Amino acid sequence: MTEPREIITEPLTREAFAPFGEVIDTDGADAFPINQGRTERFHALAQVELLGEGAQGILSIFRGQPLEPLKITLMERHPLGSQAFVPLNHGAFLAVVAPPGEFDESAVRVFLTKGSQGVSYRAGTWHAPLLPLAADSDYLVVDRQGAGSNCDEVELKRPVIPVSRPG
């Protein structure tokens, strides 16, 4: 059994997450009034990427459970589309990511979201499957349905254990 590797979680910010996708959050986002001023539109927080033959955008709800023990051994990517997760009951989660392209295990980073934040993984961004911190956490998921293979998986040589920043 290979030695697990601890990675310190980072707070999720647009700038830090930019190589992997977008942060879906009203904080710090541009907004403009619509509906005669009764509604604020936080516009285009993320782009939906739908690539390849017969690609369609779909909306699903994932009801996730925490991974226990919290040890990540597998990551995946969706080369033909983005995948967004938006919490429906304020469930914080871990966004464990690595840059698109050839998988580089040394480049894995762990972001801790606030319950008010969602993410959109860019097409091809390596990520761990949904990792909510609390039981029965619901997320609206926007991703791609269509022809072709849209899920590549990779086994980590060293399992990753997220740890919170000391202090």
Query: Footprint of ligand UGC on this chain (CB under 6 A)?
Result: 76, 83, 127, 129-130
Question: Does residue 158 contact residue 7 with C-beta atoms inside 8 Å?
Answer: no
Instruction: Pick the stretch among 40-48, 60-68, 78-86, 100-108 that binds Ni ion (CB under 5 A).
Output: 78-86
Tokens of 37: 């001023």
97 contact, one of Ni ion, ligand UGC, none, CB 5-8 Å limit per kind: none
Q: Closest separation between CB of residue 31 and ligand UGC, Å?
A: 28
Of the pair 25, 96, the CB lying nearest ligand UGC is at: 96
How many positions of this chain bind Ni ion (CB under 5 A)? 1
Q: In angstroms, what is the minimal distance from the CB of 1 to ligand UGC?
A: 25
Nearer to ligand UGC, 122 or 127 (CB): 127
State the minimum distance, in angstroms, from the CB of residue 97 to ligand UGC: 11
Partner whose footprint covers residue 130, from ligand UGC, Ni ion, none (CB < 5 to 8 Å by kind) = ligand UGC
- Report the nearest approach of ligand UGC to the CB of residue 3 (Å): 26
- Nearest residue (CB) to Ni ion, 122 versus 162: 122
What is the secondary structure of the chain as a DSSP string? -PPPEEEE-EE--HHHHTTTEEEE-STT--EEEETTTTEEEE--SSPPPB-STT-EEEEEEEEE---SS--EEEEEE-TTB-EEEEESS---BEEEEE-SSS--GGG-EEEEPPTT-EEEEPTT-EE-S--BSSTTEEEEEEEEESSS---EEEEEEEEEEEEPPP-
The first and second tokens of residue 18, run together, are 């930019």
Return the number of the residue (76 or 105) whose C-beta is nearest ligand UGC: 76
Q: What is the spatial distance between Cα 51 and Cα 59, in angstroms, rounded to a whole number?
A: 16
Using CB under 5 A as the binding rule, the residues of this chain from 83 to 142 that contact Ni ion are 83
